[in-house]
Amino acid sequence: MFVAVWPSVEILDAIAALPRPEVAGLRWTTRDQWHVTMRFVGSVDDVDAAVAAVRSIEALACDVEVGPAVGRFGKRILHVPTHGLDAVAAATVAATAHVGEPPEERPFKGHLTLARSRRGDTDLRSLAGTAIAGRWRADEVTLVLSHLGGSGARYEVIERVPLADPAT
């Protein structure tokens, strides 16, 4: 399981328009998989406890920007950077720290994963740098169950929780 924010249709369309060349050892993610992970929860024995934890997230709706260009994390991940979700991620970790695996210690780096190298030896440098820009309003977080399979992960949203309106 994980907690995620999903981009708008306009952002999904912009990502879908990016080039996706055939590269040996690289697996491209699909449109239905494009999300920003606020926290990886892992396996959970008590789904009701996870739902309750996500319902307790206290964060404000916010604008999220993508870009300015496709990036990479080493030789394994090609991604679209996102900016503006730090407070939502921190609130998510605080509210859900007691469920699933312990939260990661590393700083939050918002992103939408475009592709993964199967072996970690793919040179992603030529694929990074393509310009992309856009903005959407993040107004909810979701608790997501990941079903792993041979053709990649399929995601099932278990719970949707609205983020507070900053105007109120």
Each residue's pLDDT tens digit, 72-116: 999 899 999 999 999 999 999 999 999 999 999 999 999 999 999
Asked whether residue 168 carries a pLDDT value surpassing 90, the answer given is no
Asked whether residue 149 carries a pLDDT value surpassing 80, the answer given is no
Q: How much is the pLDDT for 45?
A: 92
Domains of the chain by residue range: 2-162
Q: How much is the pLDDT for 10?
A: 98
Tell me if the bond preceding 68 is cis, omega within 30° of 0.
yes
Q: How much is the pLDDT for 123?
A: 85
Residue 139 to residues 61, 162, 164: CA-CA distances in angstroms? 5, 6, 8
Q: pLDDT digit string (tens) for 2-61?
A: 999 999 999 999 999 999 999 989 999 999 999 999 999 999 999 999 999 999 999 999
Placement of tokens 């926290």 in the chain: 39
pLDDT band at 136 (very low <50, low <70, confident <90, very high): very high
Are 33 and 166 in contact by the 8 Å Cβ rule? The answer is no
User: What does the alpha-carbon distance between residue 52 and residue 91 come to, in Å, rounded to a whole number?
Assistant: 14
Q: What is the pTM of this model?
A: 0.95
Across 144-154, average pLDDT: 84
Asked whether residue 151 carries a pLDDT value surpassing 80, the answer given is no
Across 156-163, average pLDDT: 98
Across 136-149, average pLDDT: 94
> Which residue, among 91, 4, 3, 5, has the nearest Cα to 41 in the 3D structure?
3
Sign of CA dihedral 154, 160, 103, 77: positive
Superfamily name with CATH number, domain 2-162 = Cyclic phosphodiesterase (3.90.1140.10)
Q: How much is the pLDDT for 56?
A: 98
